[in-house]
Structure 1
Amino acid sequence: MIEGPYFVLVVFGALWCGLTAGVFVAFSTFVMRGLGALPAERGIAAINAINAAALNPAFLVVFLGAALLCAVIAVVTFVLWPDEGTVELLLGCVLYLAGSFGVTIIANIPRNEALAKLAGAEEAESSGAYWRTYLREWGMWNHIRGGAALAASASFVLALT
C-alpha cells in the first residue's frame, strides 16, 4: 500500500501531470485552431510570441516539476517496490517522461525553433507553407504529449486506489 510521504508524492505527481495535460489540451482544442485561422504571417508572429512567453518560471515549474516528480516517483518505486500499484506508478512515470517530456524535447521544440527562424520572413510563400506543416505536425505531437500526460495522471490515481 502507498502511504505517508510516498502517498503525498504520488498525489502531487498526479496533479502536476494533470495540470500539464490541461495546458496541452488547451493548445490542442482552441489555441492552435485560433492561430491556424490567422493569416500565416500573423499566426507565425503570434506563436513565436507565445513560445517566448512560455519560457517563464510558472510554466517551467509545471512542466519540469512534473518531470522531476515522475523521476523521483520512479526511483522511490524501485527502492520501495510496493505490493500494490507498482505497475501503475512505473507506467505513469514512463508515460510522462517519454510521452510528454520526451516528445516535447524531440518533436515540439525543434519545430518551434524552426518556426522562430522564419521571424521577419513571415510574408514569404515558403513561410506560409511551413506554417501549414507546422500546425499539422506540431498539433499531432501536442495531442500525443497531452494524452500521455493525462494517461500518466490517471495511472497515478489508479495506483492510489
Structure 2
Amino acid sequence: MIDGPYFVLVLVAALGCGLTAGVFFAFSTSVMRTFGALPPAQGMAAMQQLNVLIINPWFLGVFVGTAGVCAVVAVVTFVLWPDPGTLAALLGCALFLVGSFGVTVAANIPRNEALAKLDPEAPESVEPWRTFVREWTAWNHVRGGAALAACASLVLTLAA
C-alpha cells in the first residue's frame, strides 16, 4: 500500500476527479437539458452568463488544481515505477489530463467562445445554438466519463 506524500497526492487527485465528474454529470443530466428546453434566446443567454460566472476560484481551483495534481502524480509515478498501483495511477492521470482537461480545452471552450459571439435575440442564432447544445453536451459526456474513470483508477491506486 502506498503511503506518505504520494498517498496524499493521489487522494487529492482522486477527490478532484470525482468532484469534477460530478459537476460534469450535473451539466449533462440537468443544466444543459434545461437550457436546451428553454426558448433559444433564453437558453443561449443563460449559457452565455454561466460561461462568465463559472470562471471563478472555486471551479477553477478544483478543475485546474486537479489537472496540476494529476501532472505531479504522473511524474512521481514514473519515479516509483513499477511499484504496485503505478499503472492505475498513470491511467487515472492520463484519463483526467487528456479526457477531461484536454477535451475541455479542445472542444468545450472553443464552443463557449463561439457562443459568446452570438446575439441571443437574433433569429440566425437559433440554429447555431441548437448545434451548440448537441455538440457541447456530447463532449461534456466524454469529459465527465473520463473524470469518473480517472477517479476510479486513482482509487484503485490507493487500494494497491
TM class, shorter-length: over 0.9
In 2, the alpha carbon distance for the partners of 1:11 and 1:141 equals 26
1:104-138, CA deviations, whole angstroms, 9 ceiling, x for partnerless residues?
000000000000000xx222232100111000000
2:133 to 110, 132, 135: 135
Runs in 1 of length 4+ with deviation above 6 angstroms? none
User: 1:107 corresponds to which residue?
Assistant: 107
**C-alpha distance in structure 2 between counterparts of 1:31 and 1:75, whole Å:** 36
Structure 1: segments with no counterpart, 5+ residues: none
1:81 aligns to what?
81
Compute the displacement of 1:36 (Å).
0.6
Cross-structure match for 1:60: 60
For the residue of structure 2 that corresponds to 1:84, the secondary structure is coil
* Residue type of the alignment partner of 2:94: V
CA contact (8 A) 2:70 2:96 kept: yes
> Please, what TM-score do these two structures have when normalized by structure 1?
0.96
- 1:2–1:82 contact (8 Å) kept in structure 2: no
Number of aligned residue pairs: 159
The amino acid that maps onto 1:131 is W
Residue 122 of structure 1 aligns to a residue whose secondary structure is coil
Structure 2: where are the runs of 5+ without partners? none
Candidates 152, 155, 158, aligned match of 2:153: 155
Superposed CA RMSD: 0.9
Identity %, equivalent residues: 67
Normalised TM-score (structure 2): 0.97
CA displacement, residues 17-75 of structure 1 (integer Å, 9 cap, x when unaligned) = 00011000000000000011111111111001000001111110010011001000000
